[in-house]
Amino acid sequence: MDFISIRIITADVARLTDFYERATGLPATRTTEDFAVLRTPTATLAIASTRTVPVFAPDSARPADNHSVIIEFRVEDVDEVHRNLADLVDDFVTVPTTMPWGNRSMLFRDPDGNLVNFFTPVTPEAVARQERA
């Protein structure tokens, strides 16, 4: 089995896609006005409209209502990314901080309130764990 993607359901695909393009520097592929994807070498972030929910199961997902999932991206230099996102992100939950497990991490909320973690492994142990992943 392969883990392929995370899908965010939103009421505004264009706004959220634009945000993630700017935040990550990745280009999105917009399949329709209701669906876009941003691909990394290891996973995909899909962004879909609330209009797609009934195709799967009516009322099974609600936009801007996530309270348990953190979307994570490994970045080259989290401190530099933090500086670059200052004019984009309205809600930084934490500034870059070195965690006990060796990642330097910052948390912020996207325009729908989803929690996002950008991190950089900084200790030898954290770097080694990422190389094995």
* Last residue in a domain, options 17, 32, 60: 60
Do residues 133 and 75 share a domain? Answer: yes
Q: Measure the CA–CA gap between 43 and 45, rounded to whole angstroms.
A: 7
Of 19 and 60, the structure prediction assigns the larger pLDDT to: 19
pLDDT given for residue 59 in this prediction: 78
Quote the mean pLDDT of the chain.
Answer: 94
Total domains present in the chain: 2
* Lowest-confidence segment of 23-27, 44-48, 110-114, 127-131 by average pLDDT: 127-131
Q: Are residues 133 and 71 in the same domain?
A: yes
> Which pLDDT belongs to residue 19?
98
Q: Give the domain range for residue 98.
A: 66-133
Whether residue 52 contacts residue 7, with contact meaning beta carbons closer than 8 Å, is answered with: no
Nearest to 112 by CA among 25, 50, 29: 50
Q: Long-range contact list for 97-103, CB < 8 A, 24+ apart?
A: 98/122, 101/126, 102/126, 102/127, 102/129
pLDDT in tens, 46-100: 999 999 988 778 878 888 888 899 999 999 999 999 999 999 999 999 999 999 9
Mean pLDDT of 103-124: 97
What CATH number did the domain enclosing 96 receive?
3.10.180.10
pLDDT of amino acid 133: 65
| Radius of gyration, CA atoms only, the chain | 15
**Same domain assignment for residues 78 and 111:** yes
User: What CATH code is carried by the domain that includes residue 46?
Assistant: 3.30.720.120
* Same domain for 108 and 80: yes
Quote the pLDDT of residue 132.
Answer: 74
